[in-house]
């Protein structure tokens, strides 16, 4: 087994841990950058950035974010448990016109702020606090049914499963926040980094055991991996589509500036949907608040194939 790297004691400080329930809570992968392993990761990111060029967006297909037909406008947003710039978060969510919002890293203070600002537009909501950084929530313009908190078996944090009564009918929405590449004590280690893809796969596969795969289903949230990660690729193998990759293959959804000035970024936030739905548009939203950016996807019902009936036979 690869031995863990513990270079600086500061990287192992995890404030407020309650290992009985939330062990270990996230002091944050992105705040533990001042150690040898993160220097390696940072240099790797810089090299990849320079090789791939400086293009912000590679649009594959023009998105349609306001289709004429009935649609579901889904936003996923990791708002950051540290309560960074709540006024910017609420301003965006108030104006974004989403049908359903999936939130990660919420807690009691976030719940109070979000409900006070948004309850008129999003009267249906479910908030579940889970320690420091594991809270999940869904806010909706449409009624929520069968709200279930799915407790973690492979990772650290739960998922939130709801059924939303939408203009498309009942749609299941699974809000996930997968485990970051941290060891049990909250440190970034080589071992935890290498194990993270398999943990993500087990997390997602376990959560999907709780859903109805034959009904419309959206899986959204902070995956802590990009579109090439094991969990995302497994979902695609299972018939799901990554909404953002249809329209934009470059824009990042997570940014973090290290203590020594290097900016790390990646595509950790995803909205995937099964074959009952079709995506007309998706994009990364520009909001200066959390270390994550919101991701939006607009979904419509998958057109049913036309079946020829009572066609005249040959004479």
Q: Find where tokens 């470059």 sit.
A: 250
279: in domain: yes
The mean per-residue pLDDT over the stretch 148-157 comes to 97
Going along 24-168, which residue ranges are E strands?
Answer: 72-78, 100-104, 124-128, 136-140, 144-150, 159-166
6: in domain: no
Q: Find where tokens 């440190």 sit.
A: 187
pLDDT tens-digit profile of 19-52? 334 444 444 444 444 444 455 454 454 444 444 4
- Residue 93 belongs to domain with CATH number: 3.60.10.10
63: in domain: no
32: in domain: no
pLDDT tens-digit profile of 83-108? 989 999 999 999 999 999 999 999 99
The two tokens of residue 144 are 């929520």
- Reference 43, options 224, 254, 263; nearest CA is 263
Question: pLDDT at position 259, please?
Answer: 82
Give the count of domains, the chain.
1
The model's pTM: 0.81
State the Cα angle at 72 between 66 and 77, rounded to 5°.
95
The two tokens of residue 54 are 């400086």
Q: Find where tokens 């990849």 sit.
A: 48
308: in domain: no
- Mean pLDDT, all residues of the chain: 85
- Reference 212, options 170, 268, 265, 267; nearest CA is 170
Question: pLDDT at position 257, please?
Answer: 87
pLDDT at 219 over 50: yes
12: in domain: no
Cα separation, 174 vs 165, whole angstroms: 14
Where residue 110 falls among pLDDT bands split at 50, 70, 90?
very high
Q: Give the distance from CA 247 to its chain's centroid.
A: 17
Residue ranges making up the domain that contains 129: 72-301
67: in domain: no
3-state helix, strand, coil in the chain (%, to 5): 25, 30, 45
49: in domain: no
DSSP symbol at 182: B
The two tokens of residue 61 are 């297909």
């Amino acid at each position: 087994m690869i031995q863990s790297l513990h270079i600086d004691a500061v990287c192992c400080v995890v404030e407020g841990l309650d290992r009985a329930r939330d062990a270990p809570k996230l002091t944050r992968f992105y705040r533990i950058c001042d150690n040898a392993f993160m220097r390696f990761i940072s240099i790797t990111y810089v090299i990849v950035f320079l090789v791939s060029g400086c293009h912000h967006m590679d649009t594959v297909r023009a998105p349609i974010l306001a289709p004429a037909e009935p649609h579901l406008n889904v936003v996923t947003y990791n708002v950051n448990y540290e309560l960074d710039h709540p006024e910017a978060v609420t301003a965006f969510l108030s104006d974004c016109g989403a049908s359903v919002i999936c939130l990660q890293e919420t807690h009691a203070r976030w719940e109070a702020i979000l409900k006070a600002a948004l309850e008129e537009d999003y009267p249906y909501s479910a908030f579940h606090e889970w320690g420091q950084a594991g809270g999940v929530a869904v806010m909706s313009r449409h009624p929520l049914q069968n709200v279930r908190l799915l407790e973690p078996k492979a990772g650290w944090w739960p998922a939130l499963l709801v059924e939303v009564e939408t203009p498309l009918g009942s749609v299941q929405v699974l809000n996930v926040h997968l485990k970051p590449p941290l060891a049990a004590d909250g440190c970034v280690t080589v071992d935890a980094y290498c194990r993270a893809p398999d943990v993500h796969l087990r997390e997602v596969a376990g959560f999907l055991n709780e859903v109805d795969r034959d009904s419309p289903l959206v899986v959204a949230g902070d995956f802590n991996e990009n579109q090439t990660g094991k969990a995302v690729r497994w979902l695609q193998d299972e018939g799901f589509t990554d909404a953002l990759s249809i329209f934009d293959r470059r824009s990042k959804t997570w940014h973090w500036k290290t203590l020594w000035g290097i900016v790390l970024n990646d595509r950790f936030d995803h909205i995937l949907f099964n074959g009952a739905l079709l995506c007309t548009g998706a994009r990364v939203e520009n909001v200066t608040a959390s270390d994550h950016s919101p991701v939006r996807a607009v979904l419509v019902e998958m057109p049913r194939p036309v079946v020829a009936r009572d066609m005249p036979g040959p004479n």
